[in-house]
Amino acid sequence: MSINLTSVLISDEVDQKCVNFLQENGIKVVKNTKLSKEELLKEIANHDGLIVRSATKVTAEVIAAGKKLKIIGRAGTGVDNIDCNEATKRGIIVMNTPGGNTLSAAELTCTLICCVSRNVHSGDRAMKEKKWSERKALMGSELYGKTLGIVGLGRIGKEVALRMQSFGMKTIGFDPIIPGEVSEQFGVKWMQLEELWPLVDYITVHTPLIPQTRNLINDAVFGKCKKGVKVINVARGGIIEEAAILRALESGQCGGAGLDVFTSEPPADFTLAQHPKVVATPHLGASTSEAQERVAVEIAEQFVDLNKGKQLFGAINANAMTNALSEESRAWVTLGQRLGQLAGSVGGQSTGTIKVTACGSSLKEAKSYLGAAVLAGYLATRQQPSGDGITLNLVNAPVMAKEQNLQVEFSQTDDCSGQYSATVTVKISDGFQASGTTCSGGAVLLSLQGQGFPAPASLSGTAVVFSAKGSPQLMASISGAVAGESVTSLTLSSGGAGDRWGVATFLAPPSLKNMESLKGVTTTMSAVTF
Ligand code: NAD
Ligand code: MLT
């Protein structure tokens, strides 16, 4: 699957370096950060790429309006303003710049921890109001010796831990993916949340906002913590339930909060942000010149690298494409798709398992893309339930297959006996079996239903795949039937008097008349346009 980006729309405030880099690499850029929803729906149709920060809501409607859209890039981390499921369904790559703003977000988290512990915000307010006497009410507490609970030990969680350890804080944490042996390396003692709550003086959250993390910290959790626990959220509004923070601040169960993010931004209700024990910032985690420059350059570089077929970095929904960009892999992707099409057209439609076997050491890395390629070809021969002009590719084929109860079982062996150094075999449960290889960048069929072709059949243009009763005159009869057509190859499997398989390839779809004549000399026949 190659990506040919010609024009990119940037609809949010992204550093100019992004525009410059894309243009220097021959990609047209339209930057318009003032589009209304209707204008965006119209404009998006002209572009094959879209770059946003968090202001543009890339809804299913916007994605559907992007008829040419191939890639959506987020100059930043969170992709919660992008309907990733819809993009995946439509075969559109979604990518972010995962590390570009990590340090800035970590530094703001540490800043908020310090502010909350020393009432910096209240002190500043008092000074601005010339109320020196308020200093008595602004007694703080040291961070030294206190315990910081870090929920989410990914990029930002780790950097926060490393920085707060220099204040003498003990760092403990939880993450379902990062194991204790790993977190130990950056000084965080891993534990389950239920163990962590009673131990912490401060909690900071660094997870995405997903169903499992929405309202993760709520009334019940505050109840399990020490009185006066302080909470920090520089991740996403709603991970700590806002109403629960207010109630805990009022009761004294929560001793202070540092909040950069809110459930709705700007908040519909500023009560929480205005609370005297809250230090609030308007989503400033990534708002540093360094972070903004980094994410802008990174997203532009990722677009250009993909466009040049160099590498795919930062994609969150395109696993199957990771190793599929080189010219060599692309030929195997094409073969996989075409064998899949053949399986769907000749083998019929089944649910269950498609077995894909790659043979040859050069296909060691093929697992990630070959199964998806076969699925894309196979599913393309089916009426898609979600229709809507969606083209199947490596991004959407795996999810479409799942929806249709279809699985791929992939195996690879280094040893490829026979005359080819690498081959791919596709088998489906209803008895279909085909093997192929690549030749000068093209896909060719080596065998069908267990019968080998002495001369590989080209899988290009339109192929008529047939079975016919073997006889010495068979080749002559078939040649006669397709005479006068733009036939590019005609191949018969070796065999005797039983049924034999054959493939006739045409530059353009054969005429009805020739299809009728072919019918007269074959037992089964399917036309496949590749
Ligand atoms: P990351 O992907 O590196 O780390 C997130 C971690 O959360 C992962 O390790 C994941 O396993 C963990 N996680 C997932 N579910 C969990 C759960 N139920 N309990 C505990 N941990 C869980 O992401 P990151 O770059 O560290 O970013 C973290 C968050 O910060 C994201 O929500 C991101 O959008 C946000 N962010 C905000 C700003 C800002 O401006 N305020 C800036 C950058 C990132
Ligand atoms: C992010 O997820 O990257 C942040 O929220 C920062 C931003 O708004 O870009």
pLDDT grade for 496, boundaries at 50, 70 and 90: low
Do 159 and 242 lie in one domain? The reply is yes
**Domain count of the fold of the chain:** 4
Calculate how far, in angstroms, residue 259's C-alpha sits from the geometric centre of ligand 2: 14
Calculate how far, in angstroms, residue 153's C-alpha sits from the geometric centre of ligand 1: 8
Please confirm, yes or no, whether 265 is among the known catalytic residues.
yes
pLDDT tens per residue across span 59-97: 999 999 999 999 999 999 999 999 999 999 999 999 999
Do 222 and 137 lie in one domain? The reply is yes
Calculate how far, in angstroms, residue 347's C-alpha sits from the geometric centre of ligand 2: 48
* Coil vs helix vs strand at 460: coil
Count how many residues are written for the chain.
530
| Substitution site in 177, 207, 216, 240 for ligand 1 pocket (most atoms within 8 Å of beta carbon) | 207
Mean pLDDT value across residues 171-194: 98
Q: Give me the residue label for tokens 């800043």.
A: 111
Which ligand 2 atom is at minimum distance from the Cα of 78? Answer: 2
Task: Give the residue with greater pLDDT, 101 vs 391.
Answer: 101
Calculate how far, in angstroms, residue 233's C-alpha sits from the geometric centre of ligand 2: 13
Mean pLDDT value across residues 101-112: 98
Please confirm, yes or no, whether 283 is among the known catalytic residues.
yes
Q: Domain range for residue 366?
A: 321-412+421-446
Confidence check: pLDDT of 388 > 90: no
Rounded to 5°, the CA angle 371-334-419 comes to 90
pLDDT tens per residue across span 410-463: 999 998 878 899 999 999 977 899 999 999 889 999 999 999 999 999 999 999
Ligand 2 within 6 A of CB of 204: no
Residue nearest to atom 8 of ligand 2 (CA): 54
Do 352 and 373 lie in one domain? The reply is yes
d(CA 502, CA 230): 74
2 within a domain of the structure (yes/no) = no
* Cβ proximity of 336 and 356 under 8 Å: yes
φ/ψ of 177, rounded to 5, equals -105, -40
pTM above 0.85, yes or no: yes
pLDDT tens per residue across span 223-250: 999 999 999 999 999 999 999 999 999 9
Residue nearest to atom 34 of ligand 1 (CA): 78
Cα 110–chain centre separation: 30
Sheet of 423-428: strand order equals 406-413, 352-359, 423-428, 433-439, 442-448, 451-458
Q: Which bin fits 72, alpha (ψ -120 to 50), beta or left (φ > 0)? A: beta
Do 93 and 190 lie in one domain? The reply is no
Do 435 and 392 lie in one domain? The reply is yes
Ligand nearest to the CA of 234: 1
Calculate how far, in angstroms, residue 77's C-alpha sits from the geometric centre of ligand 2: 5
From the list 380, 431, 372, 370, the residue with the least C-alpha distance to 397 is 372
356 within a domain of the structure (yes/no) = yes
| Substitution site in 15, 101, 281, 298 for ligand 2 pocket (most atoms within 8 Å of beta carbon) | 101
Please confirm, yes or no, whether 275 is among the known catalytic residues.
no
Confidence check: pLDDT of 312 > 90: yes
Do 338 and 487 lie in one domain? The reply is no
From the list 15, 100, 21, 11, the residue with the least C-alpha distance to 305 is 21
Do 228 and 123 lie in one domain? The reply is yes
Do 114 and 262 lie in one domain? The reply is yes
pLDDT grade for 387, boundaries at 50, 70 and 90: low
Do 442 and 458 lie in one domain? The reply is no
